[in-house]
Amino acid sequence: MATLEVVERKSTCVLDCPDTCSLTVTVEDGRVVKLDGSRDNEITAGYICGKVRHFTELVYGEDRVRYPAVRSGPKGSGQFRRATWDEALDIVVQRLQAIRHEHGGEAILPLCYGGSNGWLTHGPLDLRLFHRLGASRLARTLCAAATAAASTGLYGKMPGVAYDDYPQARLIIVWGCNPAVSGIHLVPYLRRAKENGAKLVVVDPRRTPLARQADLHLAVRPGTDLPVALSMINGLFESGRADLGFLSAHARNTEALRDRARAWSYGRAADVAGVAAADIERLTRLYADSTPAVVRCGWGIERNRNGGSAVAAVLALPAVAGKFGVRGGGFTMSNSFAWDMDPAAAACEPPPATRLINMNRVGEALAPGFAPPIRALFVYDCNPLATLPAQTKVRAGLAREDLFTIVHEQVLTDTARYADVLLPATTFLEHNELKRSYGAISLEWIDPVIEPVGEARPNYWLFAELCRRLGVARPGEPETPAELMRAIVATSRDGARIAADLERTGRAAPACGDRPVLFVDVFPATPDRKIDLCPAALDREAPAGLYGYTADPATGAFPLSLISPSTSDAISSTLYQRVRKQVPVGIHPADAAARGVADGDPVRVFNGAGEVRCVAEINDELRPGVAMLPKGLWAKHTANGQTANALAPDTLTDLGAGACFNDARVEIRPV
């Protein structure tokens, strides 16, 4: 009897998670049978989350897209006939050429996000194609747009405190994030810090497991982080605890920030946020008294009308209180800011001056009356029907008979069911990737561990092929994974050393190292290396001015705040193919009682934009007035195929034009 070949191969998880775990992948006769954490990366520490432990269910599951296919039934039916790559690409090329000839390049819209992609499959060759076709450009603002605008506005691209340094801190504030489900490897560092005597504070509308362990939990109303942070800033100044020496040496526009914070006493902020004024005051005193102190600023803060200003105010706190300059002191936002590379510049010329369409408004852009109309939609690295706000409009757009839709996907998502041409995409186990972490400070070169499943092809192969077939490729341009890696790394000031490290070890750290002390090893990447506490550009951009608060959008008809956080089942919509059961809406016991809703009752969750039919789950972890449906759900997860995104407005954050998912205001009634 022939023996099976069993090998262990190294990989790295590229999914949209700060941790970028190093993996040991067991491959048996060319097939992945197990994924586990390795110790190549100290932060992974030999374990990974349950989501990726089950990743083989995506790779080999019944939903996997294995072959190119052409639509054979009504739009959205998910009925396809198998095609060859040549046939599918011929159709794509003919239709794109015809649309471009008849309606112009801007009639083509690429639709992607790419949080679960590295630099080889998101950014270089796709942009080469679409820029040269003169396609409409996409503002990729679904997530992290407001946080990026705020943090780079104040600090430029400056990395933050590394996870490894959290045990040095005496106080840790986890603000607007839930590392137990998104970024699990921070949790042991928090535990170690607590064992060392650190205090832990959590700011979150939910009493999460971490909040239960905290010394102080501020269960703020969604969208009110801004007043809380401003009242802390005001309190620091008013009590004489602001570090005026640090501010004078390292910051600009301190007075402008102080003036805007002055309006927010603890009492006023507490009224708006629905917490006790004494608790905000206690947190401010604790913060002033604790060194080192670190704020873990999460993406939950940004997803509302005040999101950009709220992130700016939270990130201003360590400057005002003088918390930089020591190991474990300052903030952590996105550590992807440690890198200065530009994958688009490595692949093609600057973008053309074609129209820019915000991805949060794609529903509008696909609607009748949008001029000139979009005639071709190329979806990749993205499941917009599950992830974009204003889901009803997005679905109506995808159903348009006059819209030619190409989808390059790994599994048959809700969006893929609307494809005219469906193209099979590889997973990170099947292609090369270059990935920078946004939690740990590292850059990883990743080799495939198995051959592509079926006829799946990586996105860099697809777009190189389309560049050739559409006549926009140029001789000598980087195209293979190794060529692209070298070209991308060469855009860094430190490119030669990084390329050598990647080729030698598969990993590289930035020039500042992987555990920089803020204001010792790294400084703001602003022109004068100072923090700008009130940048003029942000002040112009925010409708109410930077740090201006816009009131809650609740109405008498729709009084409940619907939040849509991550869960331990999926990463946004990725991996939800494996969850077959329906998902309940969480509701606080008092809100349920007031509506005559019992646990398990079928309910309608609705507002002017849509309605979700599901069952209720009584959840006393929520604060009263807040309901919860996880983000990224698929149509199969509710009784009527609509999800929280059908209730989310397509309004935009004050900075960065990001999504306002947590500004959904709803009513819940028994069915």
> Interface residues with ligand SF4 (CB under 6 A)?
13, 15, 17, 19-21, 48-49, 51-52, 184, 571
- Polymer length in residues for the chain: 671
Between 80 and 163, whose beta carbon lies closer to ligand SF4? 163
Between 48 and 583, whose beta carbon lies closer to ligand SF4? 48
Between 54 and 604, whose beta carbon lies closer to ligand SF4? 54
Q: How far is the CB of 494 from ligand SF4 (least distance, A)?
A: 25
For residue 664 the two structure tokens come to 């959904």
Phi/psi of residue 111, each to 5°? -130, 110
Q: How far is the CB of 509 from ligand SF4 (least distance, A)?
A: 18
Distance CA 100, CA 133 (A): 8
For residue 54 the two structure tokens come to 């089950």
Residues 6+ apart with CB under 8 A from 590: 624
For residue 106 the two structure tokens come to 């801007």
**Run of H or E including 407:** strand 404-409
Q: How far is the CB of 458 from ligand SF4 (least distance, A)?
A: 19
Between 38 and 147, whose beta carbon lies closer to ligand SF4? 38
Between 15 and 562, whose beta carbon lies closer to ligand SF4? 15
Grouping H, G, I as helix, E, B as strand and the rest as coil, residue 604 is: strand
Question: CB burial class (10 A; 0-12, 13-18, 19+) of residue 621?
Answer: middle
Q: How far is the CB of 124 from ligand SF4 (least distance, A)?
A: 23
Distance CA 175, CA 203 (A): 5
Grouping H, G, I as helix, E, B as strand and the rest as coil, residue 666 is: strand
Q: How far is the CB of 527 from ligand SF4 (least distance, A)?
A: 35
CA angle 214, 216, 217 (to 5 degrees): 85
Q: How far is the CB of 324 from ligand SF4 (least distance, A)?
A: 28
Between 97 and 568, whose beta carbon lies closer to ligand SF4? 568
Between 150 and 184, whose beta carbon lies closer to ligand SF4? 184
Radius of gyration of the chain (CA): 25
Please give the DSSP secondary-structure letter assigned to residue 662: G
For residue 302 the two structure tokens come to 């940004």
**Run of H or E including 669:** strand 664-670
Tell whether omega for the bond before 510 is within 30 degrees of 0, i.e. cis: no
Q: How far is the CB of 504 from ligand SF4 (least distance, A)?
A: 23
Between 391 and 572, whose beta carbon lies closer to ligand SF4? 572
Bridge-partner residues for 273, per DSSP?
none
Tell how far CA 79 is from the center of its chain. Answer: 31
Residue 635's CB: how many other CB atoms inside 10 A?
17
Q: How far is the CB of 15 from ligand SF4 (least distance, A)?
A: 4
Distance CA 533, CA 151 (A): 10
CA angle 233, 236, 240 (to 5 degrees): 145
Q: Which strands make up the sheet holding 443-446, listed edge to edge?
A: 433-436, 443-446, 507-508
Residue 440's CB: how many other CB atoms inside 10 A?
25
Strand 626-628 and strand 585-587: the pairing is antiparallel
Between 25 and 365, whose beta carbon lies closer to ligand SF4? 25
Q: How far is the CB of 184 from ligand SF4 (least distance, A)?
A: 5
Between 184 and 489, whose beta carbon lies closer to ligand SF4? 184
Between 35 and 648, whose beta carbon lies closer to ligand SF4? 35
Q: How far is the CB of 571 from ligand SF4 (least distance, A)?
A: 6
Q: How far is the CB of 17 from ligand SF4 (least distance, A)?
A: 3
